[in-house]
Structure formats: structure tokens, C-alpha cells
Amino acid sequence: MRSIAVTVVLGLTLGLSGIFALRTTSPTTTFADAGSHASCIGIESSSISPPGSSDEFPGGRAEISHFLKSLGGPPGAIVSGTAKLHLGSHAACDAAG
């Protein structure tokens, strides 16, 4: 009886370990869009990530960061107005300018 219990516990442990390994090392990646309460900066950042997912900024967040730094001054000062907007969609944020 004890050997059956050990076999069951060992089988469950190995099975759960296998499921965990598959879930954490899966080659597919899940990406989420920014929520409707996100700032326009959050929505924009989400829409250009990961790199290669946007024609607007193919380099993703790194490309926009380099662009902002090239303008001179602190990037935060450049984007602070947009960061305060919470318009609910990418289209609405783009329309706001």
C-alpha cells in the first residue's frame, strides 16, 4: 500500500513539474494591450512593444527613447503632458496630438 502511495505522489509531482516547465518555457509569448484607464503614454508604449510589432516605431520602446533623447532636454518634460491624458484608446490619444 505504501509503494502505491509513493508511486502516486511521485507521478503527480513529475506531472505537475512537467506542466510547470511547459508553461514557463513556452516559445509563444502573450502580449497585452494597455487597459482603458492607462495614460496615453502607456497606451502608446504598449502599441509599439515588442520591437517589430509596429510600423510606426519598428525598434519599439528603445527607438522612441533614443528619439526623445535626441530632441534634447529631459524626455520626461517632453512627454509629461501626454502622460496626464487618459483618453481610453490609441486613436483618441493620437487625435489629441
Residue 36, classed as helix, strand or coil, is coil
> Which backbone phi and psi does 24 adopt, to 5 degrees?
-95, -15
Q: Which domain holds residue 75?
A: 40-96
Q: How confident is the model at residue 41 (pLDDT cuts 50, 70, 90)?
A: confident
pLDDT at residue 70 in the model = 93
pLDDT at residue 33 in the model = 61
Query: In total, how many domains does the chain have?
Result: 1
The mean per-residue pLDDT over the stretch 16-27 comes to: 60
The mean per-residue pLDDT over the stretch 47-74 comes to: 88
Residue 26 located in a structural domain: no
The number of angstroms, rounded, from the C-alpha of 84 to the middle of its chain's C-alpha atoms is 20
Instruction: Please state, in angstroms and rounded to a whole number, the distance separating the CA atoms of residues 20 and 2.
Output: 27
Residue 3 located in a structural domain: no
Residue 27 located in a structural domain: no
Residue 33 located in a structural domain: no
Residue 46 located in a structural domain: yes
